Each structure stands twice: as structure tokens, then as C-alpha cells.
Chain A
Amino acid sequence: MAESEHEFVGLANYLHLVTDPGFLPALGNTLALIALVLCISIGLGLALALLLERAVLGRGVLRLLVISPFFVMPPVAALIWKNLLMQPTSGFFAWIASLFGVPPIDWFASAPLIAIGLIVAWQWLPFACLILLTSLQSFDREQREAAQLDGASALAILHHLVLPHLARPMAIILMMETIFLLSVFAEIFVTTGGGRASTNLAFLVYSQVMFQYDIGVASAAGVVAVILANVIAFFLVRAVGRSLDA
């Protein structure tokens, strides 16, 4: 590197970043991935928690199974999903598709972001499920009985009493997961290895450095990621704080 290249460039790196055709898709991918994983992990986590609270048969084993994805390292989880489940010719999903005579989906070619979202959601499901399960167990029994005597169906009790009771833990899950999901990396690295359809901000920083050797733009992207995280955290903390006050 020549001496002359080390001069102050102002916001030029940021300009390069935002005009980079990869930047906006990466930003969009980051947010879409977070939204997808949150929806799946909270939705499915709630369903599982409701099931685990009731079902008596094999509950201990079931709970262990539900918790176990949390212990699998992200690259390992991604490899398992990529090679065992989502592999388009020999994978488990392809086999299921063949049972129904449906052509198998080439997950990482046709829907890479959704595929990565599924893997990450699988890893975060235990977290959501466990927090919701403990909250469900703290739901007041007399309140449920009072509602039963008031004539509320199981669905009405879920809607009017249980879900409001779960608002706080859900806000906590939302906040915690969002913070961690901003920096999803290993799952992208191991499966698609980037590409416009699945690169998020964290991966953009990495690829700018490793493939474009552009430390300036990478650093700018890093700063943008930090600012984004802070902005999201600010609103999340405010929203969660409000729900904790209520």
C-alpha cells in the first residue's frame, strides 16, 4: 500500500457502502431473517410450550428433545441441516417429497434465506419454548378456574388470559433473539457461502474484507451494523420496558 492512500477520506467509505449494490439487499436480508426466525421460534415455541405444559406421557424426554438444539453449535447445526435434511437428492426432506411424488426443493438455490431462517429458528426454538413454558407454569390456577366458571372456552382463556400473561416473556424473547440474530454468520457461511439472496450485514462485512480486500467499506458496514443494532435495541428496550411497567 502506498503512503498516499492513508489520508482522511471523510464519509467516502460510507458512500461506497450505501451505493454498493450489495448493501441494501444485505440490510433487507438481515431484517427479513430476524423477522422470519422470530415468527417461527415464538409461534412454534408457544405451541410446543402449551403442549409440554399439558402432555403427561413422555414429558421428560420431550422436554430434553426440545432443549437439545440449543446445545448444538451453529456450524454443526447448519451442516446437519444442509447435508442430512435439505440436500436436494439424498436429504430427508427430498425423500419425504418423493413419497408424495413432489419434486424436491433445492433449498439453498431456490430459497436460501428461508432455508437459513429455518436452521436458525430451529436453534432458537428451545430458548423461546423454555421461557414461554416457565411463564405458562406461573399462570395463576385460580384465574383459569375463574374463567372456566365464567364460561370461557379453552380458546377464549388462551386469547384473553394466557396470551396477555405471556406478553412480557414474549417481549423478552423478542429482544434477546433480535440482538443475537443481527449477527447470524456461521449458518450462512456453511450453507450458501454468501450470495446476494442470503448475505446479511455481518456476512457483508466479512466478504468485503475477505473477497474485496476493502477494509474501509467493511469497517463502514461494521459501523452501520452497530448503529442498526443500537437503534433496534433502543426501540426494543422502550417497548419491553413499557410492557414491564404495565
Chain B
Amino acid sequence: MSNIVLERVSKRFGDTLVTDNIDLVIPAGKFTVFVGPSGCGKTTLLRLIAGLEDIDQGRLLIDGADMGQTPPAARGLAMVFQSYALYPHMSVRANLGFALKVAHTPPRDIAARVEAVAKLLDLSALLDRKPAALSGGQRQRVAIGRALVREPKAFLFDEPLSNLDAALRSQMRIEIRRLQQDLGITAIYVTHDQAEAMTMADQIVVFREGRIEQVGAPLEIYRRPTNRFVAGFIGSPCMNFLSGARAAAFGATTIGFRPEHLRLDASGELRGVVRTVEHLGNEALVHVQLEDDTMITARCTEDTALHPGAPIAFTPDPASIHRFDQDNRALDVG
């Protein structure tokens, strides 16, 4: 278990500042998720930590030691890549044991460690196969196993589930999380999928354009976003935003409320017309065009009779309204 500390870390590619003065503590034994839209610098930051890119400014401390000049292998971190990056002409066994082999570990120790990891990940029957003969989920597990074999100080995951289908993805989500908790390892996980962030993380770090927007536990970020970007990015379907007179009534430039915080109310102040209804079985998502043409989304129960074109009215739960000032910062946070 190791903690990782970033102090004012900056990186530029040419003229573009990819990460800008990042200060961050990744606590030992916790699952930290970097989340943000594409190109927000989250993957670059992960690669800076791994040592695959050089830090331009700032310091990277692992267990208190400055790692800025340390080559990747000596940092004691293991990384699971988006493409898995398995060695295609080696068997699963050789893939798992490669790090130990190049470290000149005695063959008997390699075999023992490989067997142990294979058992943990349910790969024992596949040890003699080549990566090409494995399914997506199996490749994913080999990639994780390859990281586990080295007994690293921390795990780095770079969008590891984006190549899997939806069912497998949610299964692997649980498996990775369980593994991390059982072994008590420090993990950093990069994703653009806010649902992955919400379900897996102990700590979420929301990025935008090379800066950290907010750091916190999933529910804390969901309930108390510190700015409009985080409010809109975390949560699906996305938070509804209203501005103008309705927001001014709350003393804010913009107000936001989540789809589940809208109550059907014939005398409600948000009146509009149903445009589309997404039936999910357990609930329905209603897309409503308000009188001023703003589109909002509401979460309703399936027993509500909803037809496109029908008039509808809501009242937002006043306790769940988020208020933002003209700089999109949240008012009265905390």
C-alpha cells in the first residue's frame, strides 16, 4: 500500500498545456478514479505517474520519494492498458511471467507466482493459450494478472473496460473492485464513463481541460458538485439547467436539478409538452420542452401515462436545487 502525491504537476505538448498545476493526493489502499471528457488530460496524468511521459514541472512523490527522474520500471507501478497490450506471440503463462523473467527471477518462483495469480483470476485453464485464442474478458483478466504478478505499489488502469460489451463491462467493474478491496491495493483508474467512476471509486477526480474540477467521494460529488461542469458531467441522465428569471428567483445565474428531483404536479411552475419518452421498464425518462423551448429530462415511474405531445407540469424539489453564479461556481456548497 502506497500513497502517491502530485505537487503542482504541469505537462505541455508543444503549445498545449495538457495538465496544469495539478495538486492531488492518491490515498493508499483506495480506489481513485480520474474522470472527464476526452482530451481533458486524465490519461496524460496517468502516463506521467507511470513514467511513460516526463513531467515538465512539479513533483511526483510515491511513498514520500521523488520519482520524477526514476525510470518507469523502478517506480513499482503496474499498468493495465486500454488495448491490454498483451504480448501476442507469448502464451498466457509467458505473458504473466514476463516481468519476473526479465528481472531474472528463478524459474521455480516465476511458475509459483504465475500459478497463484492465474488461480486468483480464474485463468489456470488458459495458461498455455496465446492471447489471440482468448475472449475479450479473458484478455482483460490476463492484462490484470500481468500487473498483479509484479506485486506493484499501485495499479494504474487506462480505460481498461472500453473494449468490452456492456454486460461484460459491468461484470469486470465488480471484479476489479472486489480484487482491489481484497488485496487492499492502491489503484488509479482512468475513464470517461461517469457511471464507472460512480460505481467503482472511493475517490473521484473530475478533470476538464487539464485542470481538476473537483475531488471527492462519489456521492459527495453527486450531491454537492462545486461547479456547473461537474454537476452536468456526473449523473445520467444529465442534470437539467435553467437560467434567466427562474434562476433569478433563487438568487442565482443558473439553477440545476436532477431528473429524479422533479415531481409531477398539475399546478407546477415548470409547464411544457412531452417530446419523447424512453421506457426503461422500471422507470421512464421523459424529455419535455418547456414553454420557453428549454429541454429538460425527468425520471418518472412507468405507471404514469405519458404521450408525446401531451401537456405536462412539474415542481422541482426545492431542497435539491443547485444554484450557480455567473462564473458557473456553485453557491452555498457544503
Contacts and interface: CB of A to CB of B under 8 A. Distances in A.
Given A150-B102, A151-B103, A143 B87 contact: yes
A159 to B, nearest CB: 10
B87 A145 contact: no
Interface stretch (B59-67, B76-84, B114-122, B205-213): B76-84
B98 interface: yes
B52 interface: yes
B224 interface: no
State the main secondary structure of chain B at its contact with A. Answer: loop
B52 A150 contact: no
Question: Main SS of chain A's interface residues?
Answer: helix
Contacts of A165: 88-89
A164 interface: yes
A167 B90 CA distance: 14
Interface string A198-232: 00000000000000000000000000000000000
A171 interface: no
A156 interface: yes
A150 B96 CA distance: 10
B25 interface: no
B107 to A, nearest CB: 16
A7 interface: no
Given A143-B85, A143-B87, A149 B72 contact: yes
Nearest to A161: B87
A142 B82 contact: yes
Given A142-B81, A142-B82, A160-B98, 13 more contacts: A145-B72, A145-B79, A145-B81, A145-B85, A146-B79, A149-B50, A149-B72, A150-B73, A150-B150, A151-B99, A152-B73, A160-B102, A246-B89
Interface of A: 140, 142-143, 145-153, 156, 160-161, 164-165, 167, 246
Interface of B: 50-52, 71-74, 77-79, 81-83, 85-90, 98-99, 102-103, 146, 150
